Amino acid sequence: MYAVVSPEKIQLRPGTVMRMPGSWEDYQRLAQQRGDSSIPRIKYRDGEILLMAPLPVHGRDAHILDQIVTVLLEHREQDYEAFTPITIDLPEEGGIEPDYCFYIDNWQAVVGKWRIDWQTDPPPDLVVEVDVTSFTAAEDYLPYRILEVWIWKNKVLQIYRLNDNGYESVSQSRFFPELSVPELVNQCWQQAYEQGTSVAIKQLKRSL
């Protein structure tokens, strides 16, 4: 399969990442052309457009991470709202598509909403990304002021927390400070691949 990006068609082989110069208007046209599909993923930053067609493992790992976050939130009896797929964009500044995003502190602000206005509504508190193809960097989320970014890359969870100078790599999540989240995620992920996702999630619930 050849990579095709034209006004009529976008076609990328799974695992492909394509970078090209482009304007905000170019990004909007590509997003409109893609329609309701979530593939390929499209990102806009600093006059550059990135397209990525995820591998099947991407979706599976993202699902495992989503299940882990959900279990941890529910264990704390924390109300939340979660979205996927979702496009976060600010005109002329950037557009990005995390695998999952969670409203935790600000969950009430988005209850029942069909669409989120990124210029007036609060941003998600936590986003989760799986990076199989070197497509993701925490700094991509700076325009949106998201408090915490989780990136799963090379079988390691990296947690980034927003501060006055940008994103700082940290070992603990502000939402689950009593837990070693990277270690917990790694153990759950290994068990999911050895015994199945449902088995791993049930074991996680029992261990909390």
How confident is the model at residue 107, as a pLDDT? Answer: 95
Please state which CATH number belongs to domain 56-207.
3.90.1570.10
How confident is the model at residue 2, as a pLDDT? Answer: 54
Percent pLDDT > 90 in the chain is: 50
DSSP state, residue 139: G
Taking the C-alpha atoms of residue 26 and residue 36, their distance in angstroms, rounded to an integer, is: 18
Average pLDDT value for residue range 159-172: 94
More confident residue, 49 or 15: 49
pLDDT digits (tens, 9 = 90+) for 18-43: 888 988 898 888 888 876 666 788 88
Average pLDDT value for residue range 100-109: 95
Tokens of 207: 């261990």
How confident is the model at residue 37, as a pLDDT? Answer: 64
Q: Delimit the CATH 3.90.1570.10 region(s) of the chain.
A: 56-207
Taking the C-alpha atoms of residue 95 and residue 16, their distance in angstroms, rounded to an integer, is: 19
pLDDT digits (tens, 9 = 90+) for 42-61: 888 888 888 887 777 888 89
pTM for the model: 0.88
Residue 16 has pLDDT above 90, yes or no: no
Tokens of 192: 């999911």
pLDDT digits (tens, 9 = 90+) for 110-140: 998 888 888 888 999 999 999 876 667 899 8
- 75 near 176, Cβ under 8 Å? no
Closest alpha carbon to 71 in 159, 198, 165: 198
| Burial annotation 27-65 (CB, 10 A radius, 16+ → b, else e) | bbebbeebeeebebbbbbbeeebbbbbbbeebeebbbbb
